[in-house]
Amino acid sequence: MAPGELKLSENNVTTNVNDRSQHGMWSSRLFFVLAAVGSAVGLGNIWKFPYMMGEQGGGAFFLIYLFCIALIGFPVMAAEIMIGREGRMSPVNSVLKLARESNRSKNWAFMGWTGVFGGILILSFYAVVAGWIMFYIWRLFSGEFNGADAADVEFKWKTFVGNPWSVFAWFTAFMAVTIFFVARGVNKGLELAIRICMPLLFVLLIVMLVYGLTQGGLMDAVRFMFDFDFSKMKWDTPVAAMGHAFFTLSIGMGAIMAYGAYMPREGSVKSAVGIIVVIDTLVAILAGLALFSIVFALKLDPAVGTSLLFKTAPVAFGNLPLGALFGGLFFLFVGFAAFTSAISLTEPAIAYFVERFNTNRVVVALVIGVATWLLGILSVLSSNVLGEFTLFLNWTFMDFFDKFTTYLVLPIVGLVISIFVGWFVPWERVRKALDLSSTVAWIVWIVCIRFVAPLAILTVFFFTIYVEVILPLLPNQQ
Ligand code: PFF
């Protein structure tokens, strides 16, 4: 067969005979690493991680988180990349191929399917938050918050999210840019986005760090994030740390698996995973230090989540020298991070439907983009028209999509991936694919993927259900 030629097998799955994906390949291993880092570094790092550390016991939380990253994040990410690189297709078909070649049931492809729908669900609310960020880039640069106090900033925030049309417009703009890039394909779209955004992301992080460090709040920031404060730890802190490890590393979704399908054969999976995990964690810490240095320089209350980014940060930037400029740059940094994550969320679905219907990527990207956009309207309306409408447990649609994916979809898929690769794919193949020639490294990895990761994920899963669903439903907890 000619290079790049595709063959149609019995159940309509195209297989590539030349170890190349039909969707394209990253130009080099570096691009794979950058793309995966781009997917991992996102709103989770800048918006969730710093306040989680401060809120849940500082250094104590960090240690548990590192443990989760090492024992679950590392092996599961390696397994995902391995499946993708062996299959060279969308997550659904890569798993199917590996299952067939290992004489296993085709039902394992279930984990690929959850990636298809999970990605759309996550993107539907992620793009709404990214739309807020886009508006705040503009707001900060325009100097709108100069000299503002907490009440002004709160009022501006409420007026913005209270108006469905403005949130809808920014959400739509973000979705349009995302779909424009993904529709152009792996090289002309995804890789172009990575080429533009990743260098800027790192430069902006350094700029923000230098700015933050010169504002005088660094030591307080370090204390807030790293002091071992066991009194702040709750019994569900390990659950939070583990759930966050999944979200921040983009695992349990098929996104990294889809990216792995375009990874050149040369270059080792284990070192790529090491680099991705280290950079993702470093960015989270450095962004947290930069942000909290600014917040503590003005002795503001660090607050949490959405409030930290959209209420506390604008007050801080509005009252610091050159705050409009650096505030705008900070939101630009968050925007780039959100964008390079968003493009990875669509890849499992786009790759699958292109393979399934053997059709043009642009058409598929448009259809998926419109479906996600329509679904996202529910999250757009969650802060205004439907703000009072809660499904259960007082969750708005946006909360529901967030919690359903983070607490349910990611852990379940992570669990299935570790069981599939650990127990059902011939170990010789896995060892060769991961290039784990050292016996010690292999034993550590196989123990983690077979026992540690599944058991830990199961624990997370049941504890989370208990904390998030059962406990609030108990009458005396309401
Ligand atoms: N890792 C991204 C973040 O930390 O914001 C979020 C994410 C991207 C989750 C892609 C899952 C995914 F497949």
Q: What is the pLDDT of residues 235-270, one digit of tens each?
A: 777 777 888 899 999 999 899 999 999 999 888 898
Residue 416: pLDDT over 50: yes
Task: Give me ligand 1 centre to Cα 7, in Å.
Answer: 33
CA nearest ligand 1 atom 11, residue: 250
Q: Which DSSP state fits 302?
A: -
CA separation (Å) from 89 to 10, 327, 350, 361?
16, 41, 11, 14
- Report which ligand 1 atom has the smallest distance to the Cα of 337: 5
Cα–Cα distance, 224 to 441 (Å, whole number): 36
Q: Is 16 helix (H, G, I), strand (E, B) or coil?
A: strand
Q: What is the pLDDT of residues 167-201, one digit of tens each?
A: 999 999 999 999 999 999 998 999 999 999 999 99
Task: Give me ligand 1 centre to Cα 115, in Å.
Answer: 12
Residue 10: pLDDT over 80: no
Counting ligand 1 atoms within 8 A of each CB, the residue from 247, 340, 404 with the most, and so the one to mutate, is 247
Q: Quick one: pLDDT at residue 459?
A: 83
Residue 13: pLDDT over 50: no
State whether the beta carbon of 16 lies less than 6 angstroms from ligand 1: no
Cα–Cα distance, 87 to 78 (Å, whole number): 14
State whether the beta carbon of 194 lies less than 6 angstroms from ligand 1: no
**Residue 16 backbone phi and psi in degrees, to 5:** -100, 125
Structure tokens at 299: 């002795």
State whether the beta carbon of 344 lies less than 6 angstroms from ligand 1: yes
Task: Give me ligand 1 centre to Cα 248, in Å.
Answer: 5
Residue 385: pLDDT over 70: yes
State whether the beta carbon of 44 lies less than 6 angstroms from ligand 1: yes
Span 352-368, average pLDDT: 94
Amino acid symbol at 438: S
Residue 1: pLDDT over 70: no
CA nearest ligand 1 atom 12, residue: 250
- Report which ligand 1 atom has the smallest distance to the Cα of 247: 9
Q: Which residue, 120, 126, 118, 122, is CA-closest to 412?
A: 118
Amino acid symbol at 179: I
Task: Give me ligand 1 centre to Cα 387, in Å.
Answer: 25
Structure tokens at 93: 């078909």
State whether the beta carbon of 56 lies less than 6 angstroms from ligand 1: no
Cα–Cα distance, 280 to 285 (Å, whole number): 9
Q: Which DSSP state fits 69?
A: I
Structure tokens at 150: 């907490």
User: Mind giving me the DSSP string for 238-295?
Assistant: HHHHHHHHHHHHT-SSSHHHHHHTTS-SSS-HHHHHHHHHHHHHHHHHHHHHHHHHHH
Q: Quick one: pLDDT at residue 14?
A: 47
Q: What is the pLDDT of residues 58-96, one digit of tens each?
A: 888 888 899 999 989 999 999 999 999 999 999 999 999
Residue 40: pLDDT over 90: yes
CA nearest ligand 1 atom 10, residue: 250
Q: Which DSSP state fits 228?
A: B
Q: What is the pLDDT of residues 106-120, one digit of tens each?
A: 999 988 888 889 999
Residue 128: pLDDT over 60: yes
Q: Quick one: pLDDT at residue 51?
A: 72
For all residues of the chain together, what is the average pLDDT?
88
State whether the beta carbon of 39 lies less than 6 angstroms from ligand 1: yes
Q: Quick one: pLDDT at residue 403?
A: 81
